């Protein structure tokens, strides 16, 4: 039996709400997807209002918890979790295809420090994550919403950045990567204007060696896109 909660991705579906940073393309599971979900069910976390998520409740240990927002197909997510096993990871994604693909890889790899949640990140952070409890956030290649009229849909805005900072432990980090230079400049400016965080690199960061390149990133580089990385820490 498939848990119907896998098809619900936000608290206010069907109602007016703040502008979304995503557009849902598909919400249907085929037979293969259902099989993956059944086999990898232990790696899935479902939204429960008021239930707090942390390493103890998710993994039964006290390793620092990292949250990745929008993991896409999850290739980098899985590799980072495998290679940086001193941390626990919770991956948030609204696109069902990416969730199923990562669950399939995760089940094959049998990792014990990564779980997946299909739900809107803002709702999860606001209602299921305690302030000061997260060691880091990974936000890799979010949709840049390239047309100027769509910039209001961009994930990274002052309110969302302050929400991330609220949830970070002191010294916790936000690691942001994009191949859209104008978006990178905008986010760097937003970070520089926030007195609650500091940038140890003073500008864009060098490539962090433990973040693997993905197929998406390689395609961007082949089109002469310039990858920009930003690393900031909570004071």
- Cα torsion 222, 23, 118, 86 to 10°: value is 30
Q: What is the pLDDT of residue 28?
A: 80
Q: What is the pLDDT of residue 132?
A: 98
d(CA 65, CA 200) in angstroms, rounded, equals: 21
Q: What is the pLDDT of residue 14?
A: 46
Q: What is the pLDDT of residue 15?
A: 45
d(CA 89, CA 133) in angstroms, rounded, equals: 13
Sequence-ordered list of residues with C-beta below 8 angstroms from that of 36, at least 6 positions apart, any chain: 100, 103, 104, 107
d(CA 185, CA 161) in angstroms, rounded, equals: 15
Both ends of the chain: CA-CA distance in Å? 46
Q: What is the pLDDT of residue 229?
A: 97
| Domains detected in the chain | 60-234 (3.40.50.150)
User: E strands along 65-133, which residues?
Assistant: 65-69, 88-92, 114-117
Does an H or E element contain 211, and which? none
The two tokens of residue 211 are 């973040």
Q: What is the pLDDT of residue 118?
A: 96
- List, for residues 106-165, the tens digit of each pLDDT value: 999 999 999 999 999 999 999 999 999 999 999 999 988 566 765 777 999 999 999 999
Residues taking part in catalysis: 143
Sequence-ordered list of residues with C-beta below 8 angstroms from that of 29, at least 6 positions apart, any chain: 2, 6, 37, 96, 100
- pLDDT of the chain along its 235 residues, tens only? 788 899 888 886 544 456 665 566 667 888 899 999 999 999 999 999 889 999 999 999 999 999 999 999 999 999 999 999 999 999 999 999 999 999 999 999 999 999 999 999 999 999 999 999 999 999 999 988 566 765 777 999 999 999 999 999 999 999 999 999 999 999 999 999 999 999 999 999 999 999 998 877 888 788 788 999 999 999 9
- Cα torsion 77, 81, 86, 91 to 10°: value is 50
Q: What is the pLDDT of residue 18?
A: 61
């Amino acid at each position: 039996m498939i848990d119907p909660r896998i098809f619900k991705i936000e608290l206010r579906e069907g109602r007016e709400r703040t502008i979304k940073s995503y557009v849902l393309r598909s919400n249907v599971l085929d037979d293969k997807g259902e099989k993956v979900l059944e086999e990898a069910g232990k790696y899935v976390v479902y939204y429960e209002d008021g239930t707090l998520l942390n390493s103890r409740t998710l993994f039964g240990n006290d390793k620092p918890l990292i949250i990745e927002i929008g993991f896409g197909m999850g290739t980098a997510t899985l590799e980072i979790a495998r290679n940086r096993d001193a941390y626990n990871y919770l991956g948030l994604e609204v696109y069902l295809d990416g969730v199923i693909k990562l669950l399939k890889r995760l089940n094959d790899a049998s990792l014990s420090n990564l779980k997946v949640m299909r739900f809107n990140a803002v709702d999860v952070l606001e209602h299921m994550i305690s302030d000061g409890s997260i060691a880091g956030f990974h936000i890799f290649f979010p949709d840049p919403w390239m047309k100027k009229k769509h910039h209001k849909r961009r994930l990274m805005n002052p309110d969302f950045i302050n929400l991330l900072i609220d949830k970070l432990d002191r010294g916790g980090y936000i690691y942001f990567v994009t191949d859209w230079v104008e978006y990178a400049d905008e986010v760097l400016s937003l970070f520089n204007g926030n007195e609650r965080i500091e940038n140890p690199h003073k500008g864009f960061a060098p490539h962090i060696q433990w973040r693997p390149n993905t197929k998406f990133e390689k395609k961007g580089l082949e089109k002469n896109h310039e990858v920009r990385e930003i690393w900031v820490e909570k004071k």
